[in-house]
Chains A and B, each alone.
Chain A
């Protein structure tokens, strides 16, 4: 027995070591890296080209020569802010995305808690309703949404758009929040309830702090989605001073028919906001987008 033991451990060690090596061999590694590099460069290429070109002069862009700006200029950025007043749209969009996110997350949190915690008649129906809303191509509802918004006196209004975006991001926020709350053991707040704390006190003092990871995830994703939203902004606003950045972008095409670097600079600014948020909060963005979508 004693003679066998060391031998068997050494083979199992060897086996474990060989098993650990789930990574490819060296020739395969070359293929893997080659493949990944091609895909990565491809993903990067169009946007990176526009970002780099935003520092070019108009003539250099039109000449189509050279990937890198030489000499680099900020004229495109100056044009984007002075001619098209990009900052107005940026401020509008910050309001829409910020307000819409706070609205959606607050409302979703308040509804997700009882729908995660308590069993009552109609609960499953309500949950299914929100889940179903995620699976509707909403552009199909464009005209009725316009009609409802107009009847409520919210057409072409900043506050109206904030309320609309709160509703638009509600199903997603609700589903992700509820899944998270389901994973919290009920003992967490039972003590508080027994101690006589009211419903909303328990919600604020106990559940809210525990839900921080889910709230952060939902906030980032909702913010980016509203920042990027084009269709309903286009449908529900007409006055230019109410437009969001995505609409301002489509304005570049006609207004900057002659100023391609202005359009490129504007596009760069508008793309950089979600990219920066993603790079800073990568985990939350990926978790939120995958969780929301997989529901």
Chain B
């Protein structure tokens, strides 16, 4: 884990560093130019386009400002509310499923019992698999006729169940895939536990604290910051959740699994670009709101970038 810290050095003072040597201003500017150009073209310009066109009817060819019409239409569409509800459902599900499980596994592995590296390696593997490939895996896993889940559960449920296309279970089946992707949380938590000074734990042990007590009352509270960070990272991914749902169910059945990203994508495909951008702005604002909230709750800003 040493490399984690190598690329994460102590934060510098914001004004630290020498001035640019005389005669080098041109070089420095030239050096930053490609990055600034790429950033402007692919991040800033789209952001401006979004902000302007969200208030317009915009498609192939025509463009008219329509004020808040897109938002009025948006907020009166029950499918939008379904998509927003599902997106939040996935956010909550991944927090409830991945964070406690990942923290528990990370803290357990951080005790470095023999063989911990092997466990860590295997648990991390699902995280490097793409959402698209994982979606294909799970469409087979949940398949009502030959899927592994039904075969395993057959003795219990006594029959076959179409988990993904039954509106009662669809959302839960999608969220259920989160259980398998805890590797990221595990690894980040392990790195954080490794940075806890050993004297602290030794002192507690000398005072007679049991292993369980040390884990719960010393290690866990020190993980608050990293748990907040992990939640942040997960939320960012979940707010824009697309690949998994698009491939697993295309948002069905009857929009039971659809997300905001999918809803925006459909508007885009139908040529309603202005409307799609209004949805896009909702995604961005929702993301910003959740990030600010989580940072507040977990006091993340107190540690420098």
Which of A's residues lie within 8 Å of B, judged by CB? 15, 18-19, 22-25, 28-29, 32-33, 35-36, 39-40, 42-47, 49-50, 53, 61-65, 106-108, 110-111, 113-120, 124, 126-127, 129-131, 133, 135-148, 152, 163-164, 166-168, 170-171, 174, 176, 179-180, 182-183, 186, 193, 198-200, 203, 213-214, 217, 224, 227-231, 246-247, 249-250, 252-253, 260, 263-264, 267, 270-271, 274-275, 277-279, 282-291, 293-295
State the main secondary structure of chain B at its contact with A: helix
State the main secondary structure of chain A at its contact with B: helix
8 extra interchain contacts, Cβ-Cβ under 8 A, other than A137-B240, A200-B31, A278-B125?
A: A108-B35, A119-B15, A137-B287, A139-B265, A142-B276, A200-B27, A213-B7, A285-B128
Is the Cβ of B35 less than 8 Å from the Cβ of A294?
A: no
Is the Cβ of B7 less than 8 Å from the Cβ of A180?
A: yes
A247 nearest in chain B by CB position? B132
In the bound complex, how far is the Cα of B201 from the Cα of A111, in angstroms? 42
Given contacts A45-B148, A50-B140, A142-B276, are A246 and B4 in contact (CB under 8 A)? no
Is the Cβ of A253 less than 8 Å from the Cβ of B139?
A: yes
B186 nearest in chain A by CB position? A39
* A-side contacts of B243, CB under 8 Å: 230-231, 246
B44 nearest in chain A by CB position? A129
Interface residues on B, range: 35 or more
| A267 touches which of B15, B45, B50, B133 (Cβ 8 Å) | B133
Is the Cβ of B130 less than 8 Å from the Cβ of A228?
A: yes
| B217 beta carbon closer than 8 Å to chain A | no
Is the Cβ of B133 less than 8 Å from the Cβ of A199?
A: no
| A40 touches which of B119, B132, B147, B151 (Cβ 8 Å) | B119
| B9 touches which of A107, A141, A182, A282 (Cβ 8 Å) | A182
Is the Cβ of B4 less than 8 Å from the Cβ of A291?
A: yes
Is the Cβ of B4 less than 8 Å from the Cβ of A286?
A: yes
